[in-house]
Amino acid sequence: MDLKCFKLLLLGGAVRLYFSRTSLATLIGNRVEFATPLNSYKRMQEGVFLLQQGIDPYRGDLVHETPLVLKALSSILLNYAAFLPLLYVLCDLCTAALLYSMSRSFVAQKLKQQNIESKDYDKDSVELQYSERDHYDISKMVLVAYLFNPLTIMSCIGLTSTVLSNFLLASFLCALIRRHLLICLVLLAFETVRSLYPVVLIAPLLLIFARRSAVLGTAIFLVFVSFCLAIAGANFWVMNSWNFLDGTLGFIFYFRDLQPNIGLFWYFFTEMFEHFRTMFLITFQLNATVLYLVPLSIKLRKEPMLLATVLVALMAVFRAYPSLGDVGFYLSLMPLWRRCWKFMAHGFVVFTFFLVTLSMMGSLWHLWIYAGSANANFYFGATLAFCTGQIFLITDLLFAHVKREFCLYNGQKIMIDGEEARILLE
């Protein structure tokens, strides 16, 4: 990391430390857009207190963090609580540094691949190809996109455990791009036991390490399952009870807490008749996990990092308890696909969706909860539009990738009967 990027890292840390000492930190820690039943700092505090008192924190329905994390943070929370914001800031800075390192390795691999394939590229596709300059430009854009994104900053100062999730995902992506198989499996297993949905990232991992060998792929998957069981066993060793499985993975899958958030689950299950719950619960969870996994894996089998990016984004949209911190993480990965931006047609629409809906959420929540002049429909309308904007962004990126791949080999200007043709995806 050069001096300029190191200064950006220090500035990002200073911004987080400053706001963590203001009243904004308390406000963000209580906002449903950032703090969910899974990542709330208050619930983690309660879990640590119950654990120290020798009470099983998973007997009720309040604590949903894994015992290993509670045990790791217990001494800090109880003895050095004043330094906890610093720990979260350092964790967030490590995430940014890992993303920076990952992006440099990503560009290096793209250049290596491009040198092999460039003999088949059209002469008109120079603009669409990665260049040596991208080593610096793309990695710096990724760093800035994470460090100075208001969503990641506020998620950090609100002391949400999304900071830890982002760190684990960034570590996984960095290990993945550098081909460290065992590290990838351990990190993915740990995050899967914590929050279920990252299990889908086993697909890009298998595409990288076992694309041409079904036997090797099966072996890797079995090792991944073994790591998951080992981490679950370590959690059992801390608690001497399996209650944590129902309090973490069971809580996520069965969606027991209907607290509003930026996702799609809460309103639907609030309004739905109880005897339909099981069917729609399975439907929603399939939509959040395996529904898009097979078709995307087949289509993007040659681009596992794009597949990982899209899967992380889909998790942030369709998971049971999403937060804006999850959104901020995958937005920081978008500069990796800078060479596709030329073909992204809905940038203004997506930006408008994000700007308007994020601005409306706070006011509509106030009108609903405090002023009593609105209802749940108003707030859910804003979150639904926000999810729609995210889907526009994801599909736009996928279409742009397909168009770029076509133009690399066929050129950007294709003439039919003397007129320039347009590339349309139907």
Interval 138-174: pLDDT, tens: 999 999 999 999 999 999 999 999 999 999 999 999 9
Alpha carbon separation from 235 to 37, 282, 295, 315 (Å, rounded): 20, 27, 34, 24
| Phi, psi angles (nearest 5°) of residue 238 | -70, -40
pLDDT confidence of residue 356? 94
Q: Would the CA dihedral through 216, 221, 226, 227 be positive or negative?
A: positive
What confidence tens digit (pLDDT) does each residue in 187-220 have?
Answer: 999 999 999 999 999 999 999 998 878 889 899 9
What confidence tens digit (pLDDT) does each residue in 75-134 have?
Answer: 888 888 888 999 999 999 999 999 999 999 999 999 999 898 888 888 888 888 898 888
Residue 426 in tokens: 């139907």
What confidence tens digit (pLDDT) does each residue in 399-426 have?
Answer: 999 999 988 888 877 656 556 666 565 5
Q: Mark 242-266 as b/e (b = at least 16 C-beta within 10 Å).
A: ebbbebbbebbeebebeebbbbbbb
Mean pLDDT on 313-331: 95
Predicted TM-score (pTM) of this structure: 0.94
